[in-house]
Structures are given as C-alpha cells and as structure tokens.
Structure 1
Amino acid sequence: MKKVISILMLCGACISFYIGAGFATMQEVVQYEASYGSLFWVVILVVACIYAYTNISFATNGNRLGLKRGGDIYKIYCSVLGKKFGEYASKFFDVFSALFCYMSFVVMCGGANAIASQQWNFFNGLGAVVLTVAVICTVVFGLEGILNVLSKIGPVIIVMILIVSLLTAITGVGNISANMQLIDAGTYSDVMKQVGNGNPFLSGASYGGFVILWFAAFLAEIGTKNKLEDVNIGIILSSIFIFGTAVVCCMALIGHIESVAGADIPALVLANQISPILAQAFAVIICAGIYTSAVPLLWTGVRSIAKEGKTKYKITTILAGIFGCMIACFVPYKGLINVLYGLNGYLGFLLVLFMIIYDIKTKMSKKIDSAD
C-alpha cells in the first residue's frame, strides 16, 4: 500500500508540474497541437515520446549518480562533448534552464492575470499578485513541501480538464471533420498562433524541448531522493493521463474552433458553453493548475543560486517572485507563450541528442564491463 501511495504521489506531482498556465487554459494546446488540424496527433505523439524518455532518464541518472543538486544533471549529459566543451555546455544549460524556468514562472503569473481579468473582470495585476504570494509561501518550504502539495492537486486538475474537454468534444463532434479541413487550409491562421511554422514534428520538438528544461533539475533531484522504480512508474502513469487528456482537448477545441481560435483562455470559452457556473468553478481549477506549475518553476530558478533552508534562499525567492510578477503585469500573455516557449523549446530539444548519446554509451559500457 505504501508503494502505491508513493507512485500516485509522484504521478500527481508530475501532472501538477506539467499542467501550468498554458495547458490548463488550453492556449498551449491551441498553439502547439490543435492549430495543426488533422495532424494534431503527430505533435502529441512526438511530445509524449520526448516526455517519457527524458523524464525517466533524468530520474534514473539522478538516482544512479546520487546528484546533490538537480542542475548537476547537465554535467552528465554534456560530458559527451568532451571535458572542455562539455564543461562549457553544461554551465550554459544549467544557467539557461534556470533562467528559462524562471521566465516560465512569469508566464504562469501572466496566465493568472489573464484569467482574473477575463473571467472576473479584476483590475490588471491582481491575479498575478495573488498567485505570486501563494507561490512564494510554498517555495520557501523547499522540495519536500512542494512535492506534498503538488501530489494532491494534480489529479483533481486533470480530471476537471478532462470532464470539460469530453463534454465539449461531444457537443462539437459533428464539426470536427469540417473544422479540421478549415484549419488545414489556414482559415484561422490570422487569429490563431502556431508554433513550428507548419511542421508538426518541429512543433512537437519545440513543445518537448521546453518541457525538458522544466523537468530536468526537478526530476533528477526527485530521482535521487526517492525509490527509482516508484518514480519511473509515476512518470509513465502521468504521461498516459496527460497526453490522453491532450487528445480529448484537441478534439474539443477543433470542434469549436470558431469560438476558441482567437481567445486568450480557450478553456473558459469551452466551459461557458456548458454552464456559466461550471466556467466559474473551472476558472478556479485553472488557477490551481497555474499555481502547481509556478511553484516548481520558481523553485528551479532560485535553487540554481541558493541552497534550501538558508536565508539567501528565502530572500531570493521573495525578490524573484516579486520581479516576475511585475513583468507579467506589463507583457501580453499570448505573446509570452508563443515567443518564450517556441524559441527556447528548440534549444531544449538539443539536449535530447546529448541524452541519447550518453544513455547509449553508458548502457554499452555496462555490457562491456559485465562481459569482462
């Protein structure tokens, strides 16, 4: 029973981390997946493969090597470039990923701001401020406290997203085929941003790339501090729930593409079609999804320069949270997702190549050692 609970907690934590502002609002799903119409499944398949492989690799190598800090995982993979170039590359990825995770935290603040303005007509900045205060209060407790919080909220969020998507997919099922043809023809290209410049494989690589940079340090450290088998099973289960839900989300969005193509928060448009009351409740769920991603993202950025439990760690958390909140109040939410996720995702995918080379080399060396 203890093993099952551990696996479910780790699965829930992975789901919580993945479902941030972009996925919970479905803006991310629109730009990366639904915008490809009949080829949306190609993007999802590419991302799912990247997600499962890279996260298992992070956790496995973090556990095997007993890394003291999750960010040290970059030294392991970049070692394939040789000692000199590997050292430079690992430092770059360590700094870049920490900065990227921090900027992704800013995106979460922007998402909270957009929801508060669109759904409740709150003044600009209130949603970002409330989220920032909640995130700061959680991050100061460190990794164990974060894991406990995320493991409980994630499953609730994914179920609610699945319910709204399933219901609206059913109501829009008659329009899916025709709407796919319209999307493929570029009918909504003027109002619907698309990552990948028309190539679903590039979109999947970009999407998987930014997910890699989110999870690298986080899962490497979790892999070190938990039973590896439990972590890896949790990762596989989370991938089934996440990408199964993504398929349903795409069907719902495509079925109602005329309403969601230009919306800041497509998920609320879908929820409002079911019931205004449900939309109010779902807005809260989206905020919870944003919070569960914002917490580990801010932690990753702060953890790269400060050790947990120290005064520097707490001060850095507070200052970084406030600064990110200020940025989110003045930069449009949709622009943040398209530019930040798209450009940085391709660089993150480069890390996959180093990971594959490293994992193949270490497995080969193990076989050679055992043969000797």
Structure 2
Amino acid sequence: MNKKFSIASMIALCGACISFYIGAGFATMQEVVQYEASYGSLFPVVILVAAIIYVYTNISFATNGNRLNLQRGGDIYETYCGVFGKKFGKIASVFFDYFSAFFCYMSFVVMCGGASSTVAQQWGLPNGVGAVVLAILVIETTIFGLDGILKSLSKIGPVIILMILIVSIITAISGAPDLSSNIAAVDSGTYSDVMKQVGRGNPFASGASYGGFVILWFAAFLAEIGAKNKLSEVNSGMGLSTLFIFGAAGICCMALIGHIDVTAAADIPALVLAAQISPILAQVFAIVICAGIYTSAVPLLWTGVRKVADEGTRKYKYVTIVGGILGCVIACFVPYKGLINVLYGLNGYLGFILVFFMIIYDVKTRMSKKK
C-alpha cells in the first residue's frame, strides 16, 4: 500500500468505472432520455444532482473499503447501517446486501435486453440473439473473477466513451438550430406520450434516482476495489471518470433534444443519432453499444454471484453459468424499455435511502477522528 502513485493504475481504474457505468441504458442513450433529456431545459439539474451523488458515494465506498480492509465488498452495507444500532443495522444491512445483489443481477438482465434490442434494431436479427451472445461472453469473463474483470474493463471503457462523444458532438452541432424550439416542445409536454420519464416531473427526484441506482451498482464493486488497491489511485480514477461520464451525458442530452422528433420514441436513440451522420457509422456504433453493454453486464453478474459464492470455487462457476443463462431467458420475454423504467426507478429511490445512512456514518467517523 506504500507504493508510489501510478498514473497508469489511475487511468485503468478510471476506465473500469466508465465501463461499469456505461451499460445498456447509457450506451443506447435510453436512460439519458428517461432521466435527463425528458426534462428539457432542466436536464442540467438532473445531471448535477446525479454527479454529486456519484462522487460522494463512490469516494465513501472506496475509502471505507480500504480503511476497513473488507474481504467482500457487500460487507460495506453493515458498516453504514450499523450507525442506528446493532439490531437495526443488522436487519437493514442484510436487506441492502441481498437487495443490491438481486438488483445487480436484474440489471444484468436489462443488459441482455439492451443487447437483444440493439441487434434486432440494427441488423434485423431475431429477438434474443443479442442476449444469447452477450450472456455467453459475460459468463466466460465473470468466471475469471474480479482481477480478470478489471483487466477487461479498463481497456474498453475509454474507447466507448470516445465513440459516444463523437456521435453526440456531431449530432448536437447538427441539431443546434432546432435545440431551443425542441427544448420548449419537451417542456410543454409535446413528447410525454412517447417519452418515458423518471421522477414524475421533478428533476431533483430524477437526479436522486439516477444517482441512487448507481449507488447499489458501485457499492460492493468499489468497496472491494478500494480494499485491494491504492486508495489515492482509486479515488483519482473515479473522479476522472466523473468528468467523462457526466460531461458526455450533457452533450448526449443536447444531441437527443436537437433531434427529439426521431429520438423520443426510439428504443435505441443512440443508433438513430448515429444514422443521422452515416449508415456505416450506425453499424460501427451498434458494435460500440454492444461493447458498452458487455462492460456493465460483467461486474453486474459478478456482484450478484459473489453474494452467494466465493470466487474460485466450483459453486461460483456453477452459479455464474446458471445465473447467466436464466438472465438471458428472462430478457427475451420482458420489454427492454419497461425493464429500465421500473427497475432503475425503484432501485434509485432505495439507493438514495442508503445515502442517508452513509452521510451519518461518515460524519460520525470524521468527528471521532478529530477527537
């Protein structure tokens, strides 16, 4: 732990955070539509709220995971919930631990649904083909455990965010002449019948939900990474990822609203934007979306499996295989847009409750240190 700060390690950890965050919802821009672009002129409020939550919670996860040297990331819930006493803390921590593992697994199902929709929309392949291919790749990667996952994600994340930025910047520029009028149309509710919205018209609630659902994605993942790596590198990498993720989200919103007439009702708005530039780019971007889905699906499945099995064991391999296959089957029969809206929204609000526990714990810890 006393080794010198490594810029290469920081960049790798930044790439891993980006890869984890940019899954099916972000890469397809469907979650950007529902959480942010649907708020028109108020989308910056949603982004700001979500970014603040992302930074605070992830620093807290990594810092406490490192300080307590946690052996399993999911143990972080007992740490936070214990501020209200051992009995309540135990009950609450068990709930969050199991619910977050279940939610991460169901989010893996969402990733399978995103892959299925992307492949069907772009290449006209039968429903389920994308889900099957994704499930096979994710199962193979997850079996290698956390170290193997980090190596895979750290290289793919920067490439994905770069491609998203290229498409978003170009289409934001081409849609700039219509941006003001389209923002007014979104604000007036013109597209409310085809554009799902999280938060029911409250941008703060949407931002809290958006930041909240990521909390339970990152909690066990970053707590364990924080325990196994140099803390300054983890926090610096996570901070750098914030600039890329939420900067890209802002540009995506402008691009989506600039072309709102064709993106509002689309299952995969990102492909619609890419097609505005070039049909060939749309083909390339479909592959990028699939890569983004893969990079989130791997740690999500890992988090769910890790709750019930230790890495390296025969049980871990069996649960990974069975869980991957089951998630693929579910994704083939449940609508993708409905999965995102209901699952992410519910989890976001529960995740925000955890923030309350976290703040109290971190304040108490800091005060005791000063004493």
Shorter-chain TM-score above 0.5? yes
Equivalence map 1:1-372=2 (5 Å): 3-368=6-371
One-letter amino acid of the structure 1 residue matched with residue 28 of structure 2:
T
C-alpha offsets along residues 42-82 of structure 1, whole Å, 9 cap, x if unaligned? 00000000001000100000000000000000000001111
Distance (whole Å) between structure 1 residues aligned to residue 54 and residue 346 of structure 2: 18
C-alpha offsets along residues 287-315 of structure 1, whole Å, 9 cap, x if unaligned? 00000000000000000010000000000
**Runs of 4+ with deviation above 2 angstroms:** none
Deviates further, 337-346 or 104-113: 337-346
Distance (whole Å) between structure 2 residues aligned to residue 327 and residue 32 of structure 1: 24
Deviation at 1:343, TM superposition (A): 1.2
In structure 1, runs of 5+ residues without a counterpart are: none
One-letter amino acid of the structure 2 residue matched with residue 26 of structure 1:
M
User: What is the aligned-residue identity percentage?
Assistant: 75
One-letter amino acid of the structure 1 residue matched with residue 294 of structure 2:
Y
One-letter amino acid of the structure 1 residue matched with residue 177 of structure 2:
G
In structure 2, runs of 5+ residues without a counterpart are: none
Deviation at 1:344, TM superposition (A): 1.4
C-alpha offsets along residues 308-356 of structure 1, whole Å, 9 cap, x if unaligned? 0000000000000000000000001000000100111101110001000
C-alpha offsets along residues 245-287 of structure 1, whole Å, 9 cap, x if unaligned? 0000000001000100000000000000000000000000000
One-letter amino acid of the structure 2 residue matched with residue 122 of structure 1:
L
Distance (whole Å) between structure 1 residues aligned to residue 84 and residue 93 of structure 2: 10
One-letter amino acid of the structure 2 residue matched with residue 286 of structure 1:
I
Distance (whole Å) between structure 1 residues aligned to residue 247 and residue 126 of structure 2: 36
- Contact 2:167-2:274 within 8 A present in 1 as well: yes
Distance (whole Å) between structure 1 residues aligned to residue 267 and residue 234 of structure 2: 35
Deviation at 1:2, TM superposition (A): 7.2
Deviation at 1:124, TM superposition (A): 1.1
Distance (whole Å) between structure 1 residues aligned to residue 128 and residue 198 of structure 2: 27
- Contact 2:29-2:269 within 8 A present in 1 as well: yes
Aligned residues: 368
Distance (whole Å) between structure 2 residues aligned to residue 325 and residue 335 of structure 1: 16
Distance (whole Å) between structure 2 residues aligned to residue 343 and residue 189 of structure 1: 20
One-letter amino acid of the structure 1 residue matched with residue 258 of structure 2:
G
Superposition CA RMSD, Å: 0.7
C-alpha offsets along residues 210-232 of structure 1, whole Å, 9 cap, x if unaligned? 10000000000000000000000
Distance (whole Å) between structure 2 residues aligned to residue 136 and residue 105 of structure 1: 11
- Contact 2:5-2:233 within 8 A present in 1 as well: no
C-alpha offsets along residues 94-117 of structure 1, whole Å, 9 cap, x if unaligned? 000000000000000000000010
Q: SS in structure 1 opposite 2:70? A: coil
